[in-house]
Structure 1
């Protein structure tokens, strides 16, 4: 089991998109994500050509990304991923769009946006992150080696 440092590295404050609290390992990208044609809903894997996360799954992780791109199919794809148990446990994003907001709502996934600092500058893939949508906070810990 991975141990966390007792004290968080940083706490970011933002705006609630969807309430609730979830935590997990972060999966971070600086590229927007396309739902329709960019994600395999069967396993939560990014399949978008030339995407830096191509071949990686966000299932069970805290997805940290700039925002959604593409059509209204984004929320449908992410909703189906949720039904298959392949959705992220929480989302943190910078660019509020109807696609990203609706995706978070249909997944019922805690989500925060409009942070006081850019989460992409503070969260790295593999960090342990707690997203508290109700409080609008994102708490980040470094992971200790096992």
Structure 2
């Protein structure tokens, strides 16, 4: 396992936290703002909390209003993810992250997806495009 992985900055910031992987796309409007738990019953992370996690997911889903409002509600209650790592960052998702000052990256090294799992502690420096295991 490498000590450092390269990525591409979408929205800046530097955070430390546990990884939480999702095989499903994310609709932030379907996350309960009171506790950060996913309320979408068909989602692979149903009833798991994204609060304070570095959330890894393939893509966002939902309209711009739904995504931005969902992210905003989570941020206002402090139940938002610490950062996001996304495979396919559409314009809506990227703009919402930038507006809400939520660290987000994409274009991760391929090895990242093989080497890391839920619960691994990492430091994500989105400004410099670096992720490190700690």
Q: Do Structure 1 and Structure 2 share a fold, with TM-score over 0.5?
A: yes
User: Is 1:69 matched up with 2:61?
Assistant: yes
Aligned with residue 23 of structure 2, among 17, 30, 38: 30
Moved over 6 A (4+): none
Q: Please say if 1:59 is aligned against 2:51.
A: yes
Aligned residue number for residue 39 of structure 1: 31
Cα offset, 1:9, TM superposition: 4.9
C-alpha distance in structure 2 between counterparts of 1:33 and 1:47, whole Å: 11
Q: Does residue 1:139 correspond to 2:116, yes or no?
A: no
Q: Which has the higher helix share?
A: 2
* Structure 2: 5+ residue stretches without partners: none
**2: CA distance between counterparts of 1:9 and 1:54?**
31
TM-score by length of 1: 0.82
Cα deviation code 1:57-77 (max 9, x no counterpart):
111111111121121111211
Alignment counterpart, residue 79 of structure 1, candidates 65, 69, 72: 72
**Secondary structure, counterpart of 1:94 in structure 2:** strand
SS at match of 2:23: coil
Q: Which moved more, 1:87-96 or 1:114-123?
A: 114-123
Give the conservation status (yes or no) of the 8 Å contact 1:64–1:119. no
TM-aligned CA deviation for residue 34 of structure 1: 1.6
Q: Confirm or deny: 8 A CA contact 1:30 1:120 kept in the other structure.
A: no
Q: Pairwise CA RMSD of aligned residues?
A: 1.8
- Residue equivalent to 1:50: 42
| Partner SS state of residue 69, structure 1 | coil
Task: Kindly state the Cα deviation for residue 118 of structure 1 after the two structures are TM-superposed.
Answer: 6.0
- Tell me how far apart the structure 1 counterparts of residues 26 and 113 of structure 2 sit (CA, whole Å): 14
TM-score for both structures, normalised by structure 2: 0.88
State how many pairs are aligned.
Answer: 133
Give the stretch that moved more between structures: 38-47 or 115-124.
115-124
